[in-house]
Amino acid sequence: MSFTEKEIAPLASIEEWEDDVLVRYPEPNTTAKTKDEYRNYDDPKRDTVREFYRLNHTYQTYDFVNQKENNFLKFDKKEMPVWDACDFLNTLVDDSDPDTDLDQLQHLLQTSESIRADGHPDWFVLTGFLHDLGKVLCLFGEPQWAVVGDTFPVGCQHSDKIVFPEFFAANPDSTDERYNTKYGVYEPNCGLRNVHMSWGHDEYLYQIMKDYMPEPALYMMRYHSFYAQHREHAYDHLMDAHDHEMFKWVDKFNPYDLYSKVPVAPNVKELKPYYQDLIAKYLPATLKF
């Protein structure tokens, strides 16, 4: 399947998706928009965000996810140390994004430094530093909507709690009797380990890290964009008791992911030795992407 340039990159910057999540889920003690206000407020970015979700919801099918897993989980694209991967990710900086002067590495450090300041375990700090590293998918030619965006299970009925659920009408799985029932190809409370999620940076990073990081960290990596569950509780019927216990960690991580961005840039040079030591504690010298 081939896509036009506008279909590959409907957003001026992939950060527009995260900005949009903040509008939907504002920091506690601020006023949230109603669903109608969210869909209709006057912001020029809304058209590009709507198009982003239209593409995401149309093309993220069960077969599409399996194709991406078969392609990228061979980990044959590139091999590099984690810090080099961060530098590689920094080539995603988009001068057309007026909202931030911070590069991808500085965004990662803002998240991890906020976690460290609150005294959490070092593996939690490292999770904050790594959590968006899967966005390197963009640099392997993947469309934005197959890298970022709210994630959701494929192979079963799409929840109306997912943002812009009306766009799923164009998804072939919505009219496929194998996939369009409540449980689809799954069993009740089968556990998320048995569920295929829409393809993107969350799943990709989890698959890279699953042999190295503690299980709570892996849940944070794998499900931090699964807003339909950890904010809306839309997929309790697929989760088992262990998932619910582990999602307490996802809930702990979410505020750092969304609300730690500040305009002051972290001092990368000063912080680098600490993070290099932390990386060496948990991860091999190089990772395969």
Cα 72 off chain centre by: 16
Instruction: Decide if pLDDT at 112 tops 90.
Output: yes
Average confidence score pLDDT of the chain: 90
> What gap in Å lies between CA 228 and CA 221, rounded to an integer?
16
pTM, full prediction: 0.90
| Cα gap 64→257, rounded to integer Å | 27
Q: What is the pLDDT of residues 128-157, one digit of tens each?
A: 999 999 999 999 999 999 999 999 999 999
* Confidence band of 12 (pLDDT split at 50, 70, 90): confident
Confidence of residue 35 (pLDDT cuts 50, 70, 90): very low
The answer to whether 173 and 58 have CB atoms below 8 angstroms apart is no
What is the rounded CA–CA span in Å between residue 223 and residue 204? 11
